[in-house]
Amino acid sequence: MKMKTKRINATSYFSLLICFLGYINISNAQIDKSDAGIIKRTTNIYNIIKSKGSGDIISRDLIMDPTLIANLDVPSKDAVKKQYGNIQADIVMVIIPKPGVEFLDLSQIFDKYKIDHEYRKYAVLIDHTETTDAKTLIANVGSIKTVIVNKEKMYIDIVTIFNKGYNDFRKRTKESKTQLLKKAGT
């Protein structure tokens, strides 16, 4: 049976944000700093997923196949301020998924991949990359390849189906950087 996330509208979500301000999140606090292989999060993103009839979902850590997105809006900071109040983010992405797209939240992901409750307090990574606020993590069904628990370093890595393209992309951009520096004579 397919799992469906609970839909939470934006207003109540912001109330929750305020209520939980200061709440210590185990998901982000216990990454083993000795693991230099963990990729740092570089951008503070809020993803607002709009869905007809069920309000908005806000996720700081969204795993989503971009081909399942019907429309993407990246509003200016002024527009964000007017529409969403005091979100402090580098980027706010307003996403309208294609019809029928379903999401899993973190507990559903843990359930699906049978993660023992003992380990659910570990830090959560996505493709070996830090999360911003894993409690708000959602993923579209079908975007996750596997979930790995590293008991020694105390993290859970959610491996997505996108990882291969990501590495190739990183490689090409590094090459482009080198070429541009050469062109600029620096």
Closest CB 128 distance from another protein, rounded Å: 11
d(Cα 47, Cα 123) in Å, to the nearest integer? Answer: 21
124 binds another protein (CB under 8 A): no
Is residue 102 close enough to count as binding another protein by CB under 8 A? no
Nearer to another protein, 151 or 180 (CB): 180
| Interactions with another protein, residue window 40-59 (CB under 8 A) | 40-45, 47
Among 10, 30, 35, 39, binds another protein (CB under 8 A): 39
Q: Cα 102 vs. chain centroid, distance in angstroms? A: 15
Backbone angles phi, psi at 98, to 5 degrees: -65, 155
Q: Toward another protein, which CB reaches closer, 91 or 151?
A: 91
Q: Which is nearer to another protein, 114 or 152 (CB)?
A: 114
Nearer to another protein, 36 or 152 (CB): 36
Would you tell me how many other CB atoms lie within 10 Å of the CB of residue 91?
13
Instruction: Specify the stretch interacting with another protein by CB under 8 A; choose among 30-38, 116-124, 146-154, 165-173.
Output: 165-173
Beta-carbon contacts of 136 under 8 Å, excluding residues fewer than 6 positions away, are 58, 59, 60, 61
Query: Considering only residues 74, 98, 102, 121, which one is a binding residue for another protein as defined by CB under 8 A?
Result: 74
Closest distance of CB 130 from another protein, Å: 10
C-alpha to C-alpha distance for 52 and 36, rounded to whole angstroms = 42
Element (H, E) at 178: helix 163-184
Phi and psi dihedrals of 160, rounded to 5? -95, 170
